[in-house]
A and B are shown apart, each in its own frame.
Chain A
Amino acid sequence: MNKKNRRGVFRAIAACTLSAAMLLSGGCGSKGAQRGPGGPNAQQGGTIFVITKQSLSFWDDVKKGAADAGEEFGYDIVFREGTNDNDYSSQEAAIYDAVKKKAKAIVIAPNGKTELNKAFEEAEKNGIKIININSRADYEGVASFIRCSDYESGSVAARNAITLLQVKDPELATLKNIAIIPSTAATSEERVAGFIDSFTSQAADAIAPIDMTETNEKKVQDARSAKIDAYKKGVIQGAACSSESAAKDAAMKVLQSNRDSISVMFGTNTNTTLGICEAIEELELENDITVVGFNSDEKELAYIKTHVLDGTVIQNPYMMGYVGVRYAKRAINGDSVPSRMDTGAVFVDAENINDDFIQLMIYPDGKPDAAENTDGGEG
């Protein structure tokens, strides 16, 4: 290549380089200008497994919340569930699957307190964060426990049952017994306990009126405690039921033998609440017995409108799923998360059923055009 050619090639390369440099310099300037707040969630996260107890409407709302959070924060959500609320082996397999698929976190409502610990250990060993929702898992590696307290939810039901009774009888002078139809679900025991403790505590003056003739304070308290304990022991509890028809049978059985001695009936989940409502409706006891239950199945909502069901406690499964994934994201990013969170419970009755907040709790995605949900729910 002679000198003349070299000069020509040099000029061509110089012109191209200059153009490229100008473009790049423009690009560099714009890149700096584009740096916005970004936030901690700017990057795409990975996969989070959401493992629920079983296939019921309650868990559908949990999934809706989880799916929304996954979409908002850039995570792929994989859903798994047990076949029933005792099926921990399906959940165990789901955890191992999460390990295999290199999930970043697991959000789980365990079907057992300790049965999944081995799988949890394996997951933790692989760097997977564990977020526990709904019912407690006795495992130390749980980053956060998000739930609506079953005991407190039972208490909410009791407190509102008393408020309803006080509408007709402010002093509860005619207060009679409580009848409870529990479900076979793991949540039932605490709900029943919360209901009975709160009811007897808040209706203590009616259950055990203070003996004004007795001057010994201790004797007065002991006498009251004894009466309250006796009231608690006298609470009518039907057999634990796993289906609506079984709950109806149990409620019918209780009512046929105790209909005149019951002020309040309490169902601990959808099936038992619906069973009680069917029995009350059949026996035409709507005006005689206050019925409170759990969850917000369409049939339950219909019973509220016809005043067969006086009120129901609803939890916030959508919030549970949403916050579960949100806390999982925070744990993945190394941010601190609260060790526990109570998503709260709300009592729904004919008076507040149309409130915006209640409607949002019942229908996280907006009210459907037609009633589609009839399969019952369980929290």
Chain B
Amino acid sequence: MAKNNKSKGSGAYIFAGILIAIIYIINTFLVESIYWGNQEVSQKTGQANSALNKINSELTAINMDSISIAAGIIPPEDIGITMGDTNKRYGNIIAAEHQFEAIEDLSPTVVKRYNYAKALITAFKDKLDSLGTKNVQAGNEEMMADILKQEIYPLQTAASEMLISTIDVVNVETAKMNAANTKRAFALMTVMMIVAILGEIAVWLFARRAKKIRAELEEREKNLAEVDAKLKATRQKASDLAVINVLTGMKNRYALDSDVSDRLETGRFNIAVFDMDNFRSINDTYGYDFGDEYLAAVAEKLKEEFGDVAEIYNITGNEFCFLFNSSVTESQAMGIAQNIQRVMSSPYEVLNLAVQLPCSGAVYHYLPGDCLNVNSLLVKLDTALRTVKMNGGNMINTVMNM
């Protein structure tokens, strides 16, 4: 039972351990997925920003070249080289545009802002081309300056603003995605934490309940042990009552049977029976209760006087049997018998009345194989005793060996 209880208690902790392991595994996968999700977002953001910055820097450089031409910083003979540079830079812009447009799953807001910037860049390049062909070579500096100031420069500024805005929008979108990822992850982890805490509480309650049940079982076991002990005591008492006379507290006829039966075949011992003469007169005169008290007083005196030399049995109402110790010889047995007669015949004070009755006895020096059973032994003793009674009583007779 104890082992069973122990296994019940440990089950809760095994469950807790499994729960923690599952949470740990889910957590690991969760962190992994968040990490790779963010990696992808970061990579995409990096590509987008790189392409947009490239476009912006090339655009600024083209604009600087245009202003330099318009301001006369670049000598006329180098204008062709500068315009070649512009074409190369515009080629870089186109390449960066392709790089940006190849990025998948950009949000509509980012695409809208980028398209606006791209339209401005295209208009800028168209205007620049038209300026180059129509005016630069014609040397119409005033008109070239006006176009630069009124149209090309604002277009470049606006395109640049739109490109930077696109970068900002990409960053805002990235931040939003990261925030959404974080929110989702924390929501999941919060749910898991709640599950874990609830699980742990369940485990704790389960363990607590198991512990309570174990305590109850232990208490029941203890109670059962007490009941068992009481039962045993009761059985013992019942058993004792079977072989003890309740009134005198001496062993009864059955006890004598049990004690002597085995000795009849081979044993040699001295045994005697004594009986009050005319004990019926006490009952008739003073009542049975008085008679019982008188017998109890006599029995008590006999145990006190002869308990050391003989086992005393109260085999019937007022008949006592003395099984002398093996150390008591035949002659000693006779002497003791006379003492027994004297003690039994002495006056006893019962309920403030002094009562004295004579008694008769029979002594048997038993030899091995004399009797087949205890019954025949007692018949011999009773026969000898009856003989004495028939002769007036108050005497001790001896059973003759035959």
Contacts and interface: CB of A to CB of B under 8 A. Distances in A.
Q: Which of A38, A71, A152, A201 has the most CB of B within 10 A?
A: A38
B161 A16 contact: no
Of A27, A159, A201, most buried by chain B (CB within 10 Å of CB) is A27
A344 B196 CA distance: 62
Contact of B116 (A342, A344, A346, A360): A360
A36 B113 contact: no
A344 B34 CA distance: 45
A27 B186 contact: yes
A26 B30 contact: yes
Interface residues of B, number: 69
A155 B146 contact: yes
Contacts of B171: 37-42
B260 interface: no
A218 interface: no
Contacts of A27: 185-186, 189
Interface string B135-165: 0000000110011011101110110010001
B174 interface: yes
A266 interface: no
A235 interface: no
A356 interface: yes
B175 A41 contact: yes
A159 B140 CA distance: 13
Interface string B30-47: 110011001001100110
B370 interface: no
B134 to A, nearest CB: 9
B38 A36 contact: yes
B243 interface: no
A93 interface: no
A33 B40 CA distance: 12
A19 B200 contact: yes
B211 A8 contact: yes
Nearest to A146: B161
Contacts of B211: 8
B174 A8 contact: no
Given A8-B207, A326-B161, A23 B196 contact: yes
B200 A15 contact: yes
Interface of B: 13, 16, 19-20, 23-24, 27-28, 30-31, 34-35, 38, 41-42, 45-46, 49, 109, 112-113, 116, 119-120, 122-123, 126, 142-143, 146-147, 149-151, 153-155, 157-158, 161, 165, 167-172, 174-175, 177-179, 181-182, 185-186, 189, 192-193, 196-197, 199-201, 203-204, 207-208, 211
Given A33-B35, A343-B154, A345-B154, 11 more contacts: A15-B16, A23-B27, A26-B189, A38-B174, A39-B172, A41-B172, A41-B175, A42-B172, A202-B142, A202-B143, A344-B158
Interface of A: 8, 11-12, 15-16, 18-20, 22-23, 26-27, 29-31, 33-42, 68-69, 71-74, 148-149, 152-153, 155-156, 159, 198, 201-202, 316, 319, 322-323, 326, 341-346, 355-357, 360
